Amino acid sequence: MTARRPRTATRADAIAPFHVMDILARAQALEAAGRDIIHLEIGEPDFATPGPIVEAGIAALRAGHTRYTGALGLPALRRAIAEFHRTYWGTPVEAERVVVTPGASGALLLVLGLLAGPGDEVLMADPGYPCNRNFAQFCDARAVEIPVDAASGFQLTREAIERHATPATRAVLIANPSNPTGTTIDPEALADIHAWCAARGIALIVDEIYLALTYDGDTHSAARWDDVFVINSFSKCFLMTGWRLGWLVAPAWALAALERLAQNLFLAPPTPAQHAALAGFEPATLAILETHKAELRARRDFLLPALRARGFAIPVIPHGAFYLYADCSALAADSQVLAGLLLEQAGVATTPGVDFGRHDPARYLRIAYTQPKPRLDEALARIDRFLRP
């Protein structure tokens, strides 16, 4: 008898794959065949996790800190995160409102699991991080992707939100800075959106994963309001991508439900990673992180004009993260085709705009400056040879 395959849930079929992972797989295959590939596609810094964090993680393992913590995280780490908000961004946060999660993805899953369900809508920017819409879909809600462009700095505005809001709108999601554009939202614009949401009982979710990697001007955390869901991560600024640790600052009314969800979805964040993360707030570690941040800014300042000189239009200077969202329409009709050619012919891996939404994706490439300057120099030389063979 031939075995029949079980049916799968429609939500699994509806989740789109990361196109960048296909590019990464092809890049790795080319490397296995002996090609040298310059990786500008993956959103992961090239710096190693700082030594004090690594040593704290090793010490935690040796001390036997391998059992579950509470679902909301180590109390000491929750206090340290609250203190970081106070000292780094000037936003007093009660430690009781901090939820430690398995990566920022865990935080977003908790928030959308709390807020969104069948028939509900979550408003977000297009282009934007693809997991945002996929998490909404996973919760059987609808992601309403609002087209944004250079005129608004690739950020949502209150006017755009008003045009797309319906009685089914349950939440608005802002990324500050944004992936893939690296752009930030003006504090007054964010305050305007916050006031609009608060007046209507609509949740405001602010992704601040890259906030500590803001290079120009004063940074401002949405945690200054106690009714906003603020998501952050140890992955990017603290260089702990593989440790899988993030956090959420939530309104007090939501904590009991979030704890129940956390208990059932993942029991607790990874214990050794939590002990390691405590060392991230030590002055010596923060000094290391500031050095890396300065290096990323220098790379941006080098690569941005160099790409513009080669025909890539970058209409808005990104003030954070480590991405350039480059309009390549003067060079190719389809960024996905161009990304493939750059990889195969030039050995430079980039991410096409199709990963980030439906608004003009064929015009854009996301280029991550997550390689040291000599490799960026070599990438530019290869692009020159590709463009002018």
Structure confidence at residue 256 (pLDDT) = 98
Digit-by-digit pLDDT tens for the chain (389 residues) are: 678 888 888 888 878 777 788 899 999 999 999 999 999 998 898 999 999 999 999 999 999 999 999 999 999 999 999 999 999 999 999 999 999 999 999 999 999 999 999 999 999 999 999 999 999 999 999 999 999 999 999 999 999 999 999 999 999 999 999 999 999 999 999 999 999 999 999 999 999 999 999 998 778 999 999 999 999 999 999 999 999 999 999 999 999 999 999 999 999 999 999 999 999 999 999 999 999 999 999 999 999 999 999 999 999 999 999 999 999 999 999 999 999 999 999 999 999 999 999 999 999 999 999 999 999 999 999 999 999 86
Q: Does a structural domain hold residue 3?
A: no
Domain final position from 226, 256, 281: 281
- pTM, entire model: 0.96
Cα distance between residue 87 and residue 69, in whole Å: 26
β-strand partners of 323: 368
264 in the same domain as 130: yes
Task: List Cα–Cα distances, 108 to 7, 138, 260, in angstroms.
Answer: 27, 11, 15
For residues 40 and 177, state if they share a domain.
no
Domain that residue 249 falls in? 65-281
303, 330: one domain: yes
Q: How far apart are CA 385 and CA 218, in angstroms?
A: 40
Domain contains 209: yes
Q: Are residues 122 and 255 in the same domain?
A: yes
DSSP assignment letter at 97:
G
Based on the fold, state whether residues 240 and 129 are members of the same structural domain.
yes
My answer on whether 265 and 343 are in the same domain is no
**Does 274 share its domain with 291?**
no
For residues 37 and 285, give the distance between their C-alpha atoms in angstroms, rounded to a whole number: 31
Same domain, residue pair 18 and 77: no
Quick one: 229 and 207 in the same domain?
A: yes
Answer yes or no: do 143 and 237 share one domain: yes
